[in-house]
Amino acid sequence: MDAIPQLSDQGQVVSVLLSVTNITERKRAEEALQASEERFRNLIQDLHVGVVLLGPAAEIRFANQAALASFGLSEDQTIGKSSAQLGLVAIREDGTEIPFSMRPGPRAIETKQPVRNAVMGWRLAKSNEVLWTLADAVPHLTETGEVASVIVAISDITELKRAEEALHHLSTRLLQLQDEERRRLARELHDSLAQSVMAVNLDLAQVARTSGPLGEKAKHALSEARDVLQQMSREIRTLSYLLHPPALDELGLVSALREYAKGFSERSEVQLEVDLQPGFGRLSQEAETALYRIVQESLTNIQRHSGSQTARIRLRADSTCVQLEVSDRGRGMDLAALRPGNTAGTSLGVGILGMKERMLQLGGKLELESSSSGTTVRATIPRKV
C-alpha cells in the first residue's frame, strides 16, 4: 500500500490518495519458496556428500553437515562468506594453486554452465593437510537469465588419492628396479658371458692354427663352431646394448640416442630421422633413462604396429622444459582401445602406461596424437630434472 497526501494552496492536507496492490500471490510464492528451501535443507542435511548453496557473489548461503565436517568449519564461520574469505586454498593435482575465479562455484557463476567432476585439493592457510574432493557445481538461473544460486556437491576422495599416490610410488619403484636389473644384466652379459664366448673362440682359433692334421669334417665343424660363436658374440653385445647402453651413462642421452637409432634402422629397416638439439648437455640419470626408454618403446611400437617405413626422433630443451617427440607416418592407433578396462590394445597399452608413469615420476607428461596419417608421442619434463 502507498499513501500520497494531496495539499491545498495553503499547505493543508485536503485528501489522501491510497494505492493498494494485491500481493497475495507473491506472498504465496515466497512462502512456497521458503517451504521448498526448508525441505531442501532437511533433505540434504544428513547426506554423506557435502552440499553447499552459493549466492550470485559466490557467498555461502547454506552448507550441510558433511561439507562443514570435511572442512572442519562451523555454520557460523561459513554463512555469508566465500571460500577465499574462509582462508581455503584450492590446488590442482600438480600442486599449483587455483585462482578463486577458476574454482567450480565461481566458474559456474561466470559461465552460467555446470562444472562437472572437478578434482581439486583444499588446504587451510598455514596447514599442510590437503582435503581432496570431486566437485560438481550447477547454477540456477532466474527468468532473466541471471544466476540466482549455485548448488555445489562435494565428495571426499582423500583416501582414494592416497591410494593412488601409494600405487604411483610402487610403480615408480618397480620401474627403478627394472632399470637397475637391466643395467646389472647388461653388465653381466658384457663382462662375463661375452668374455667367455670370446675366450672359446680364441681357443678354437688356436686349434685351427695347430700343425697337426685335421680331417675335412673336423675343419668344417671347427669353422662352423667359430661362426656360431661369432654370431653369439654379436647377439650378446646387441642384447647387452638393448638392456642398457654404456653410452647412456658415459656419454649422455644424445650419444645414446644416436647409437640406438643407427642400430634400430639396421635391424628394422625403418629409416630414422634424428633431430637432436646441438649442445643439448646432460640431464639427471633418471631423466635420461626415462627419455631413452620412451624412445625405445615408441620405436618398438612403430616397428610392430604402425607399418611405417620412416620415423623421426626430435629432442629439444629450453630454460623451462625438455621435450622429446617420436613420430611416424603409419596407420595410426585407436586411442580409445588404450583406455583403462579395454583389452583391445593390451600389449600396446601396457607400454604406453609405462611411458606415462615414467613421466609422472619426473613431474612431466606424455601426450599421444594419432590419426590415419601417423602417430606422435610427445614427452615433456621440467628442465630442472
pTM of the full structure: 0.59
Choosing among 1.20.58, 3.30.43, 1.20.120, 1.10.10, the CATH entry for 159-244 is 1.20.58
Q: Are 155 and 134 in contact (CB under 8 A)?
A: yes
Which residue type, as a one-letter code, is found at position 42?
Answer: N
Residue that the C-alpha cell 561459513 belongs to: 78
3-state secondary structure of 300: helix
Task: Report the pLDDT value the prediction gives residue 176, as an integer from 0 to 100.
Answer: 78
Asked if pLDDT for residue 234 goes beyond 70, the answer is yes
The whole-number average pLDDT for the span 331-360 is: 69
Output 308 or 203, whichever has higher pLDDT: 308
Q: Are 152 and 137 in contact (CB under 8 A)?
A: yes
Tell me the average pLDDT of the chain: 84
The whole-number average pLDDT for the span 369-376 is: 89
Asked if pLDDT for residue 341 goes beyond 70, the answer is no
Angle value at C-alpha 82, between 77 and 85, nearest 5 degrees: 70
Between CA 367 and CA 380 the distance in angstroms is: 8
Asked if pLDDT for residue 154 goes beyond 90, the answer is yes
The whole-number average pLDDT for the span 282-299 is: 91
| pLDDT tier at 342, thresholds 50, 70, 90 | low
CATH superfamily assigned to domain 46-156: PAS domain (3.30.450.20)
> 363-371 long-range CB contacts below 8 Å, 24 or more apart?
363/94, 364/321, 366/294, 368/333, 368/335, 368/338, 370/332, 370/333, 370/335, 371/332
Between CA 62 and CA 51 the distance in angstroms is: 8
Residues 27-73 pLDDT 10s: 777 777 666 666 666 667 777 889 999 999 999 999 998 899 888 88
Between CA 349 and CA 166 the distance in angstroms is: 22
Angle value at C-alpha 68, between 62 and 71, nearest 5 degrees: 130
| pLDDT tier at 26, thresholds 50, 70, 90 | confident
Minimum mean pLDDT range among 30-39, 101-110, 197-206: 30-39
Asked if pLDDT for residue 349 goes beyond 60, the answer is no
Rounded CA Rg of the chain: 35
| pLDDT tier at 82, thresholds 50, 70, 90 | very high
Nearest to 312 by CA among 297, 322, 325: 325
Residues 221-232 pLDDT 10s: 777 887 887 888
The sheet that has 310-317: what strands, in order across it?
271-276, 310-317, 321-328, 374-382, 365-371
Choosing among 3.40.800.10, 3.20.20.100, 3.30.565.10, 3.10.20.70, the CATH entry for 251-385 is 3.30.565.10
Task: Report the pLDDT value the prediction gives residue 207, as an integer from 0 to 100.
Answer: 72
**Could you count the other beta carbons within 10 Å of the beta carbon of residue 358?**
25
Between CA 371 and CA 295 the distance in angstroms is: 20
Q: Are 28 and 43 in contact (CB under 8 A)?
A: no
Beta strands in 27-172 (DSSP E): 50-54, 60-63, 88-91, 115-124, 131-141, 147-156
The whole-number average pLDDT for the span 154-158 is: 92
| pLDDT tier at 340, thresholds 50, 70, 90 | low
- DSSP secondary structure code for residue 372 in this structure: T
Output 3 or 150, whichever has higher pLDDT: 150
Angle value at C-alpha 146, between 142 and 149, nearest 5 degrees: 70
Task: Report the pLDDT value the prediction gives residue 345, as an integer from 0 to 100.
Answer: 47
